[in-house]
Structure 1
Amino acid sequence: MQVAICTDIHGNRHAFEAVIAAAQAAGAEAMWCLGDLVGYGAEPDACVALAREHCSIVLAGNHDLAVTGALSLEDFSKGAALAAQWTQRTISEETMAWLSELEPADESHGYGLFHASPRDPVWEYVLSPHTAEGCFRATDFPVSFVGHSHVALSFSWLEGEPVSGTARRDGTELDLSVGRWLINPGGTGQPRDGDPRAAWLLLDTEDARASYRRAEYDIAGAQAAIRATELPASLADRLQYGQ
């Protein structure tokens, strides 16, 4: 089965729509979202509606949990807290109720799916081999997918060798049949690896391969939507730089 995996949508409808269209064009038969449907962007209701229509698995990210009140805003940066408060005031009751039902991890589909990490599905950033090794030891899944850092990267652990990892670019393919893997598809709605295009991953479950993908989207449209609200202008500015 071909599965499209995305994460960190953050209320960016334009980016999410572009990834959905790209995934459909690539033959994806299912879509999994690793969380943070809402947060920094201006169209949270629209992103939740798209996820409900197109995603068979949706996890709760820390920003989703902040908006629903499951996490204290004291644990967030000033900009993130302001965005969460704006989202709380803006979203519909239906969106709030649906977000409140989500969990930050799913282990029922043959892969480890975590918003942040196997050790801490809500908060841990997996950005180093040392952290990745701890995460490998915390789960028995040969392949796990995580989000949260907004950076497209992967870590692998081959028997008898140390954990290694690197950032990944558009078109990179991984052979998941060898070793163990911890994979981040990159941020869809707010990439932070210098590439402003919306990030996602195509997983081939039969051939045990994964391919990193990027989708062009209307960045100016997403920026205009943010600037038309009370959200900080910096959240719009950063989109064009992929930071």
Structure 2
Amino acid sequence: MKILVIADIHANIVAFKAVLSDVKDYDLILHAGDIVDYNPWPGEAIDLVKELGVKTVIGNHDRDSATGAPVGYNPYAEISCLWTHRRLTRKEKLYLLRLPETLTYDFNGVKVFMCHGSPNFPVDEYIFPPPTTPERYLKELVMKAGADVLILGHTHVPFIYKVDGKYVLNPGGVGQPRDGDPRASYVMMEVDGGEVRFEHRRVRYDVEKVADEILKVGLPEMLARRLYFGF
């Protein structure tokens, strides 16, 4: 079984479509939250996620864009969140708010747990690879999840880390990478006979097209500029 693992589309349908074109062959798409915000196509991103049958959890920007309550955001993110809130239809807001905080799967004996933040705080906690997040805490999270593979989003920083024979992975950001590489980031996960393999991939997309649209709709210039540098 070939599983496309993504996170943080953030209303960047240009990047999302580039990922889909790059992969071509997959059986399922898992998305670790944040369909909307930061970029200019929130409704279109939701439509594409639904059309493709993407299995997704709720992210903090999904929740806060739907409620219009960006608590603790930096000024640029607050402007973007409120803009997205105004742009979303009532139906789209309800769709986002009804997304689950966690999803679990069993793929031929490989147990998968997915959330945006962490099993302790499913929507809001930031988890990075060690040493930023201590390995002992990753062990705690894997144990709490009861999974062979723990899939997270939120940080936009990709990593695949093995701990006690289990895996913690973040596929990185599709719509707004933050690891110094502007290319859209994703992971291919293949499950075969109870064994699991991962491949982290990057794909270029038309950043200029997205940046121009960000400015056209009146979102902060900083949100356009950062896409060129992947920060």
Same fold (TM over 0.5): yes
Matches within 5 A, 1:27-176: 27-69=25-67, 72-109=69-106, 110-127=111-128, 128-130=133-135, 131-158=137-164
Rounded to whole Å, the distance in 1 between the matches of 2:105 and 2:188 is 19
Residue 14 of structure 1 corresponds to 14
SS at match of 1:31: strand
Alignment-mate amino acid for residue 167 of structure 2: W
Rounded to whole Å, the distance in 2 between the matches of 1:188 and 1:21 is 13
Task: Give the deviation of 1:136 after TM superposition.
Answer: 2.3
Deviations 1:58-103 (A, max 9, x none): 111000000122x842232222221110001112233222212112
User: Unaligned 5+ residue runs, structure 1?
Assistant: 159-178
Residue 192 of structure 1 corresponds to 178
C-alpha change, 1:106 and 1:152, in structure 2 (3 Å) is same
Rounded to whole Å, the distance in 2 between the matches of 1:112 and 1:67 is 25
Q: Retained in 2: the 8 A contact 1:32–1:55?
A: no
Residue 197 of structure 2 corresponds to 209
Rounded to whole Å, the distance in 2 between the matches of 1:224 and 1:134 is 43
Deviates more, 1:104-113 or 1:202-211: 104-113
Deviates more, 1:140-149 or 1:73-82: 73-82
SS at match of 1:74: coil
Rounded to whole Å, the distance in 2 between the matches of 1:104 and 1:197 is 27
Residue 3 of structure 2 corresponds to 3
SS at match of 1:236: helix
Rounded to whole Å, the distance in 1 between the matches of 2:23 and 2:89 is 28
User: How many residues are aligned here?
Assistant: 220
Residue 230 of structure 2 corresponds to 242
TM-score scaled by length of structure 1:
0.86
Task: Give the deviation of 1:139 after TM superposition.
Answer: 1.9
Task: Give the deviation of 1:208 after TM superposition.
Answer: 0.7
Task: Give the deviation of 1:117 after TM superposition.
Answer: 1.1
Q: Retained in 1: the 8 A contact 2:66–2:88?
A: no
Percent of aligned positions with the same letter in both sequences?
30
Rounded to whole Å, the distance in 1 between the matches of 2:201 and 2:160 is 14
User: Unaligned 5+ residue runs, structure 2?
Assistant: none
SS at match of 1:190: coil
Alignment-mate amino acid for residue 224 of structure 1: D
Rounded to whole Å, the distance in 2 between the matches of 1:104 and 1:3 is 20
SS at match of 1:82: helix
Deviations 1:138-161 (A, max 9, x none): 221121110000001122213xxx
Deviations 1:158-184 (A, max 9, x none): 3xxxxxxxxxxxxxxxxxxxx111100
